[in-house]
Amino acid sequence: MMKLNRRSGIVRSGFFLAALLFSAHVPAAFSQYGKEVKWLKIGSLHQYFLNWGAEYEIGRTGQLTDQMDGLRWPAQFPNQDVLVGKAMWAGCTDFRESNDSVYTHKVIIIGPRGHDEYYQFIPAGFRLIGRFDHPRVYVDGIPATDNELNDVVDEIDPDLPCDRMLVNRLITPLGVTITRRAMQFAQENHDNYLVYDYVFKNTGVTDLAGTQRPQTLNGVYFHFQYRYGSGQDVFRRGGSVYPSNNISWGRNCVNQVVGIGPRASDFELRAQYSWYGPHSASKAGDDWGCPNILTGQLAGVHYMGTVILHADASAKDHSDDRSQPGTTMFVPSNKNPENYAADQYNATLMRSRYDLMAAGHPDQTHADQVGDGFADLWGSDEGGYSQGQGFGPYDDFAPGDSIHLVIAEGVSGISREKSMAVGRNWFLHYTHQGDPVLTLPNGSVTTDAGEYKKLWVQTGEDSILQTFRRAAVNYESQYRIPLPPPPPDVFEVNSGGDRIILTWSASAESDGRFDGYEIYRAVNRPDTLYERIFSCGASDRVNRFEDRTAQRGFDYYYYIVTKDDGSLNDVHPGVPLRSSKFYTMTSEPAYLRKAAVKTTLDSIRVVPNPFYIGAAALQFGSSTPDRLAFFGLPPECIIRIYTERGDLVNTIVHDDGTADELWDSLTSSRQIIVSGVYIAYFEVTRDLADPATGALLFRKGDRAIRKFFVLR
């Protein structure tokens, strides 16, 4: 099959608008500073990156509706983003400008809200390297993976220690050149964190033209901010626990620091992490996990944060300094003026930013100060508080010197399956549908559903700490964790009349780790749980599978993984390591398509008839509750839907050569039809002949009418 040309995935910003809003000066050759977006999304954690050095607030799309955007986990499900915005600042003392003026404190920034890509963090390189390219995935001959747009590998390196590495190079007016490497691992025990490797080198280069102004820097700090939020799913889907006009996330985010500062002895690693704290205005009364009061679904089970894997002791000593980061202050997210305008010539603003970077550690962490209270009632910032992280001060940072920092960022919590089970049990209690005996994480039982939900959600804290430990083990091994076999480089799904046929290449079978395949399937939507429907070993391997359990009227999504024999699993010995499902997960549906044959129009049926919305789960599944089907059609015809009064509701062109057509109960103006009696009119618009024999099957003008009933 011929491979289609792939788009670059590069997104250009509105340069003039950005310049007017964020910079007083625009260089003539401004096009070289254009915003680019790339993704790391071949593990369970998906994150976008900007070539400007940090993912500032609403930086990807510029849309306020995407304020919570990035760090999606578990990524196959909708509305799992927990990132609001990030920042990277760099500063020093007694900095000499090109005109020999001296700033007592010089600070440049990207994020969390201000940016200046023209004169502060200047993009000089942005590329994605892969250990291998993503597979070609097709459904019915159509490319069916969003990897074609979002996993655009610029370079293949089979010796890469990770599965994907994004390399971002930046020039700064401090004369410090920054190389940011973001690494992702698709191994299932290590796919929910990313590793950021920063090298800050004093090159003296201050712009893309290569202008050099070498000087030794002192009092150097590198500062990062992380604004997290959770609970997006309940706000996007409805069922919010809050009254109107109340902050629905962020305000009640709780931030903890362990292994450094006031809790230096609490954890063997230096970590900062956050979670969704209960909100005082919750309608549910019991807000742990951010439950949807209409369904019980839990939206705020995420624990997210960073762990320090390495921080140079000095510009001359590259051993790890356990006292870094020297600052772990929590930062007001909204009211802090330092978070906004990107101005590298405002001495007062730069001094206050420097003071923030060098603030040290609080007497108590944010989480300890909130305690058992409500975070939304603590403090005065209506947007809540962000994690602050400052490395420094580094003195005698001379030309040619470099400073190396390695930080891992991860997201974890209870699994999707456990979250659904816990939410369902809580909901039954909340709606007085029973008082079940519930099993707590320690194995004991309770009838207190609120305490049950809280304790299960809080196990996410152990999960994020476990994630940090795995990242540390990976780093200490020099990224030599065991890897699964690669996926097949081609995966094809083809719809049929009584089966859906899946085929794949044998490319992975030559890998020494290969020990078979597994196929998983989801019904009606790709962003849900999948069921394993096929497995084989190396000895009985095949490259074709026929799904004969599919039913007409349903959409099916698939992915295939390769597996090893489990002997290399570094966390669960004996359990096979599998290639990432995100390599082959289909984004287009396959479904049974009965071939149209010579018949009369008398065979046409409307299914279900009558249509009853209350029985949606028994018809074509709860995820497609408005679906109707027309079966027994000629290979081509026009379908017109009318009300009983004769008003035209919609016109459907059926031209795929099959006997089936699915309709989502929408009018031509995209409105759901109401209860009532409807008339379906079918008309053949041209003579249709058997392509094999030339015999006439249907004549132009053949027509049929069916009446069907809708009850909502």
Q: Which residues pair with 607 in a beta bridge?
A: 629
80-130: per-residue pLDDT in tens?
999 999 999 999 999 999 999 999 999 999 999 999 989 999 999 999 999
pLDDT at res. 324: 98
**Residue closest to 259 by CA, chosen among 212, 294, 226, 305:** 305
For residue 33, give both structure tokens.
Answer: 């500073």
For residue 612, give both structure tokens.
Answer: 């009853």
Q: What is the 3-state secondary structure (H, E, C) of 258-313?
A: ECCHHHCCCCCCEEEEEEECCCCCCCCCCCCCCECCCCCCECCCCEEEEEEEEEEC
437 assigned to some structural domain: no
Residues 379 and 523 in one domain: no
**Residue closest to 274 by CA, chosen among 259, 252, 290:** 252
List the CATH number of the domain containing 393.
Answer: 2.70.98
Q: What is the mean pLDDT of residues 340-359?
A: 96
Strand order in the sheet with 648-654: 611-612, 703-711, 676-683, 637-643, 648-654
List the CATH number of the domain containing 671.
Answer: 2.60.40.3080
Alpha helices in 14-146 (DSSP H): 15-22
Residues 536 and 646 in one domain: no
465 assigned to some structural domain: no
Task: Check whether 388 has a pLDDT greater than 90.
Answer: yes
Distance, in Å, from the CA atom of 297 to the CA atom of 427, rounded to the nearest integer, reads: 8
Distance, in Å, from the CA atom of 534 to the CA atom of 496, rounded to the nearest integer, reads: 18
What is the residue whose two structure tokens read 């050095």? 53
pLDDT at res. 8: 30
Beta-strand runs (E) in 133-241: 136-139, 142-143, 155-156, 164-171, 176-184, 193-202, 218-228
Residues 532 and 622 in one domain: no
pLDDT at res. 548: 93
Cβ neighbours of residue 497 closer than 8 Å, sequence gap 6 or more: 592, 593, 594, 595, 658
Instruction: Give how far the C-alpha of residue 458 lies from the chain's centroid of Cα atoms, to the nearest Å.
Output: 22
346 assigned to some structural domain: yes
Check if the beta carbon of residue 123 is closer than 8 Å to that of residue 168. Answer: yes
Residues 644 and 573 in one domain: no
Check if the beta carbon of residue 586 is closer than 8 Å to that of residue 538. Answer: no
The backbone torsions φ and ψ at residue 243, rounded to the nearest 5 degrees and listed phi first, read -70, 165
Task: Check whether 207 has a pLDDT greater than 70.
Answer: yes
595 assigned to some structural domain: no
Share above pLDDT 90 across residues of the chain, in percent, rounded to a whole number: 77
Distance, in Å, from the CA atom of 108 to the CA atom of 518, rounded to the nearest integer, reads: 50
Residues 662 and 565 in one domain: no
Check if the beta carbon of residue 618 is closer than 8 Å to that of residue 607. Answer: no
Residues 556 and 611 in one domain: no
Domain edge (last residue) among 412, 445, 470: 412
**Residue closest to 411 by CA, chosen among 307, 298, 305:** 305
pLDDT at res. 681: 98
Residues 380 and 258 in one domain: yes
Residues 187 and 245 in one domain: yes
Sign, CA torsion 151/156/158/162: negative
What is the number of domains present in the chain? 3
List the CATH number of the domain containing 535.
Answer: 2.60.40.10
pLDDT at res. 6: 28
Crossing angle of helices 416-430 and 449-476, rounded to 10°:
170
407-417: per-residue pLDDT in tens?
999 999 999 99
What is the residue whose two structure tokens read 């309709």? 663
Helix (H, G, I), strand (E, B) or coil at 581: helix
Residues 564 and 625 in one domain: no
Distance, in Å, from the CA atom of 192 to the CA atom of 578, rounded to the nearest integer, reads: 15
State the residue range of the domain holding 689. 601-711
Alpha carbon distances (Å) from 694 to 469, 689, 703: 69, 5, 21
Task: Check whether 489 has a pLDDT greater than 70.
Answer: yes
Residues 365 and 500 in one domain: no
501-550: per-residue pLDDT in tens?
999 999 999 999 999 999 999 999 999 999 999 999 999 999 999 999 99
Distance, in Å, from the CA atom of 270 to the CA atom of 625, rounded to the nearest integer, reads: 48
CB atoms within 10 A of CB 689: 12
pLDDT at res. 666: 92
Distance, in Å, from the CA atom of 305 to the CA atom of 412, rounded to the nearest integer, reads: 9
End-to-end CA distance of the chain: 45
Residues 255 and 336 in one domain: yes
2-26: per-residue pLDDT in tens?
222 322 333 333 333 333 333 333 3
Q: Which amino acid is at 458?
A: Q
Give this prediction's pTM: 0.86
351-383: per-residue pLDDT in tens?
999 999 999 999 999 999 999 999 889 999 989
CB atoms within 10 A of CB 587: 16
Distance, in Å, from the CA atom of 688 to the CA atom of 362, rounded to the nearest integer, reads: 79
DSSP H/E element including 99: none
Residues 563 and 621 in one domain: no
520 assigned to some structural domain: yes
| Cα dihedral 257, 261, 263, 266 in deg (nearest 10) | 80
The answer to which of 43-52, 198-207, 249-258, 392-401 has the lowest mean pLDDT is: 249-258
Domain edge (last residue) among 367, 392, 412: 412
Banded model confidence at residue 251, pLDDT cuts 50, 70, 90: confident
Distance, in Å, from the CA atom of 50 to the CA atom of 61, rounded to the nearest integer, reads: 11
Sign, CA torsion 635/638/644/649: positive
Check if the beta carbon of residue 231 is closer than 8 Å to that of residue 203. Answer: no
Domain edge (last residue) among 583, 612, 643: 583
Distance, in Å, from the CA atom of 180 to the CA atom of 170, rounded to the nearest integer, reads: 8
- Considering only residues 28 and 120, tell me which one the structure prediction assigns the higher pLDDT: 120
CB atoms within 10 A of CB 200: 27
pLDDT at res. 593: 80
Helix (H, G, I), strand (E, B) or coil at 604: coil
Cβ neighbours of residue 483 closer than 8 Å, sequence gap 6 or more: 187, 513, 577
439 assigned to some structural domain: no
**Residue closest to 92 by CA, chosen among 173, 205, 169:** 173
Alpha carbon distances (Å) from 215 to 93, 95, 121: 12, 9, 18
Distance, in Å, from the CA atom of 122 to the CA atom of 53, rounded to the nearest integer, reads: 8
Task: Check whether 285 has a pLDDT greater than 80.
Answer: no
What is the residue whose two structure tokens read 């993976």? 145
75 assigned to some structural domain: yes
Check if the beta carbon of residue 154 is closer than 8 Å to that of residue 450. Answer: no
622-679: per-residue pLDDT in tens?
767 888 999 999 989 999 999 999 999 999 999 878 888 989 899 998 899 999 999 9
| ∠ Cα 174 180 182 (to 5°) | 165
Q: What is the mean pLDDT of residues 427-456?
A: 90
The backbone torsions φ and ψ at residue 168, rounded to the nearest 5 degrees and listed phi first, read -125, 120
Q: What is the mean pLDDT of residues 64-90?
A: 94
Beta-strand runs (E) in 443-489: 445-446
112 assigned to some structural domain: yes
Check if the beta carbon of residue 449 is closer than 8 Å to that of residue 438. Answer: yes
pLDDT at res. 613: 84
| ∠ Cα 90 93 96 (to 5°) | 95
The full length of the chain comes to 712
pLDDT at res. 247: 58
